Amino acid sequence: MLCSTKVTKYVYRYDETGLPEVLGLIAECDGKEIALRAKNAVLIAAGGFEWNDDLRNSFLASETPYACSLSTNDGTALQITMALGADLINMSECWGQLTFKEKAEEQKRDRVPANIVFERYFPRQIIVNQKGRRFMNESCSYDASYLTFAPFETYGQNEKTNLPAWQIFDRKFVDDIGFNTSFFVGKMDKRGVPPYFVEADTLEDLADKIGVDKEGLMNEVVKWNKYCADGADLDFHRGEDYMNQMFNRMHDMSLPFEKNLGPIDHGPYYAVEVATNTLGTCGGPKINNCAQIMHVSGRPIKNLYVCGNFTGFGGPGRGYAGAGGTIGSGQVFGYVAANHILATKDNQESDEIISSASVSEPAVNEREDYHLEKDEYLGSSDHGIGGKLTLGALC
Q: Which residues of 159-185 are buried (b: 16+ CB within 10 A; e: fewer)?
A: ebbbbebbbbbbbbbbeebebebbeeb
DSSP of 203-229 = HHHHHHHHT--HHHHHHHHHHHHHHHH
Query: pLDDT category, 72, cuts 50, 70, 90?
Result: very high
3-state helix, strand, coil in the chain (%, to 5): 25, 25, 50
Coil/strand/helix, residue 280: strand
Query: pLDDT category, 337, cuts 50, 70, 90?
Result: very high
State the Cα–Cα distance between residues 40 and 340, nearest whole angstrom: 11
Say what the pLDDT of residue 88 is: 94
The answer to whether 98 and 114 have CB atoms below 8 angstroms apart is no
Omega into 268 within 30° of 0, i.e. cis?
yes
Say what the pLDDT of residue 198 is: 97
Residue type, 250: M
Say what the pLDDT of residue 265 is: 97
Q: How far is CA 50 from CA 110, 146, 180, 284, in A?
A: 15, 14, 26, 12
227-272 pLDDT, tens digit each:
999 999 999 999 998 888 888 787 777 877 888 899 999 999 999 9
Say which CATH architecture domain 40-93+282-344 belongs to: 3-Layer(bba) Sandwich (3.50)
Q: Are strands 269-281 and 66-67 parallel, antiparallel or unpaired?
A: parallel
Does 385 score more than 50 pLDDT? no
159-190 pLDDT, tens digit each:
889 999 999 999 999 999 888 766 678 788 88
What whole-number percentage of the chain has pLDDT above 90? Answer: 57
List, in order, residues 6 or more apart from 351 with CB less than 8 Å away: 36, 37, 38, 39
Q: What is the number of other CB atoms lying within 10 angstroms of the CB of residue 24?
A: 24
List the Cα angle 329/333/338 in 5-degree steps.
155
The answer to whether 270 and 198 have CB atoms below 8 angstroms apart is yes
State the Cα–Cα distance between residues 311 and 289, nearest whole angstrom: 12
* Mean pLDDT, rounded, of the chain: 85
> What are the boundaries of each domain within the chain?
40-93+282-344, 97-278
Coil/strand/helix, residue 136: coil
For domain 97-278, say whether CATH 3.40.50.2020 is its number: no
Query: pLDDT category, 205, cuts 50, 70, 90?
Result: very high
Sign of CA dihedral 171, 173, 177, 182: negative
Tell me how far the alpha carbon of residue 367 is from its chain's centroid.
41
Mean pLDDT computed over 65-74: 94
Query: pLDDT category, 25, cuts 50, 70, 90?
Result: very high
Say what the pLDDT of residue 353 is: 44
State the Cα–Cα distance between residues 171 and 206, nearest whole angstrom: 13
Q: Are strands 42-45 and 284-285 parallel, antiparallel or unpaired?
A: unpaired
Query: pLDDT category, 15, cuts 50, 70, 90?
Result: very high
Q: What are 169's strand-pairing partners?
A: 125, 270
> What stretches of 160-269 show up as alpha helix (H) in DSSP?
171-176, 203-210, 214-230, 242-248
Q: What are 198's strand-pairing partners?
A: 271
The answer to whether the predicted template modeling score (pTM) of the entire model surpasses 0.85 is no
State the Cα–Cα distance between residues 60 and 229, nearest whole angstrom: 40
